[in-house]
Structure 1
Amino acid sequence: MNAPTQTDPLAVSLNRLHLKNPVLVASGTFGYAKEMAAFLDFSRLGGIIPKTITTEPRIGNPPPRTVETSAGLLNSIGLDNDGIDLFLEKHLNYLSSLETALIVNIAGRSIDEMAVMASRLDQYPDQIAALELNISCPNVSGGV
């Protein structure tokens, strides 16, 4: 994956991150991707960003988590996730096997907590293309 060329006109690059196109699936909307496998050809995406991960598993907010409005849907999931250990054990190999870039979204209660998570994930450079920092979640007490 390189900068745009005649054969790859949609390719984009940002520093060391190279995507075949700028179409990404946003964190929080896509689960861990397995849920969407029957509906989408992942290889057509520039990358996927699975749900945010935290140091420990989180249950998230109680139902109802979504509500329909005249303008669409509002959600309040609350960072429900398996935590970094289970993410690495259960989800990383599958996500990195998809034919697109994997960007991992992390959230922590402090800069130090996020730095520890980033350091752990940095051990998988062949599987993780980039990290995305979730520095504010309006649906969680304290923001993250």
Structure 2
Amino acid sequence: MSNDVGAQSVAPRPQGRYVPAVLAGGTVRTAGMTPRREGELILTGRIGAEVGLDEARTAAAVAVGNALAAIRAILPEGTSFRPVEMIVYVASAPGFTDLSVVADGASDVIERELGVNALPARTAVGVHTLPGGAPLEIALTAVTI
């Protein structure tokens, strides 16, 4: 993939009965974003089994790119924002513990697009399975500035 692996210009289409993001006051919360391009998962499987670490980091970059696109799509044009919390759900094989390394793939995109001072607080959680067999899912919360 190119260096613009996380960059998305359009909010992803929901895969169910929900919206990609909600703006409430000055806070935007995204739905959980998986690594999809044009509605299709780019990768499936559990990290540490079917999915390698480098693939997982790339998937995290795509997922957070989708989250950033959803935020940008709901905000009025020209509105600046800062991510404040990111939760990364990692579908991981038993014994896989490099959750933070996977999440760093998403943090790298935020830093590249918005700067190091825009990095959010972050939680990485290992789970057994995610929708559609996605290897990870990212929920991002941002505030307008």
Same fold at TM > 0.5: no
Which structure has more strand as a fraction of its residues? 2
Structure with max Cα Rg: 1
TM-score, reference length from structure 1: 0.35
Relative to the length of structure 2, the TM-score reads: 0.35
Larger relative CO (CA 8 A, sep 6+): 1 or 2? 2
More helix by share: 2
